[in-house]
Amino acid sequence: MPPRRKLSDLDRGRAIGWLQDGVAARQVAQRLAVAPSVIIRLKQRFQATGRVQERQRSGRLRVTTQREGRFIQRQAMQQRLATANNIRQRLQATTNTVVSGQTIRNRLHNFGLRARRPVRGTTLTANHRAARRAWCTQHVRWQRQQWAQVLFTDESRFCLEPADGRIRVWRSRGERCSGTTAFWRRLCDGLGRDQHTSKDTSVPIRCPQPE
């Protein structure tokens, strides 16, 4: 059976025209790649109302008000590491409104906030910057044949359980390297000395700290 999908106004008009020309509903469904039940309901709606557009639906009423939505957003912005259940409990304790964790996530999605893994970057020292600049200068004129001999690797993590144990932060688009959503740390050598004073010139492959 063809997958059921929503027809556009143009396709609805074409379907009604074919039906009025005597084409069977099953053949119309095959032409539009939809289930025959979609065409049958469209025909019934057109016979009852004379229109092909779907009637307006009010939709499910929201459990939270606009004020409670702003409260949810404010909690996520103030506590970036808070989980949806934590925010749900605070909302219930403050406003006595009982919602699910998915409702909290839906409200945060409406505000453009998503749960993402925080960037774990390292503070770049003068030695790091000099090493990166020297590496780029050394390889700036490499040809495609030379780069073909280099193997770039990456690590992927696969989780077989519902919870992977990772910490996530609420952030919007453009906040990946923001100081409120990223964790920055200073590198130390094997002797516990800060690399700001050591002579190590290794190049950490991390997102640079924002200015």
Do residues 122 and 210 both lie within one domain?
Answer: yes
Q: Does a structural domain hold residue 27?
A: yes
Strands (DSSP E) found in 27-122: 114-116, 119-122
Do residues 107 and 189 both lie within one domain?
Answer: no
Do residues 29 and 93 both lie within one domain?
Answer: no
- Tens-digit pLDDT profile for residues 56-66: 766 778 889 99
Q: Is the pTM of this model over 0.75?
A: no
Q: Does a structural domain hold residue 132?
A: yes
pLDDT tens-digit profile, the chain (211 residues) = 445 567 888 888 899 999 999 999 999 998 888 888 889 988 998 888 888 877 776 677 888 999 999 999 999 999 988 999 999 999 999 999 999 999 999 999 999 999 888 877 767 788 888 998 999 999 999 999 999 988 877 666 655 555 556 778 888 888 877 777 777 666 554 444 444 433 344 343 344 444 4
**Short-list 133, 69, 117, CA closest to 95:** 69
Q: Does a structural domain hold residue 54?
A: no
Rounded CA-CA distance 59/199 in Å is: 64
- Tens-digit pLDDT profile for residues 118-148: 877 767 788 888 998 999 999 999 999 999 9
**pLDDT for the residue 128:** 83
Do residues 31 and 93 both lie within one domain?
Answer: no
Q: Which residue has the tokens 């009010």?
A: 58
**pLDDT for the residue 156:** 60
Do residues 89 and 169 both lie within one domain?
Answer: no
Total domains in the fold of the chain: 3
* Contact call for residues 55 and 156 (beta carbons, < 8 A): no
Do residues 191 and 135 both lie within one domain?
Answer: yes
Rounded CA-CA distance 115/11 in Å is: 38
Query: Under DSSP, is residue 77 helix (H, G, I), strand (E, B) or coil?
Result: helix
**pLDDT for the residue 137:** 93
Domain residues for the domain of 95 are: 66-112
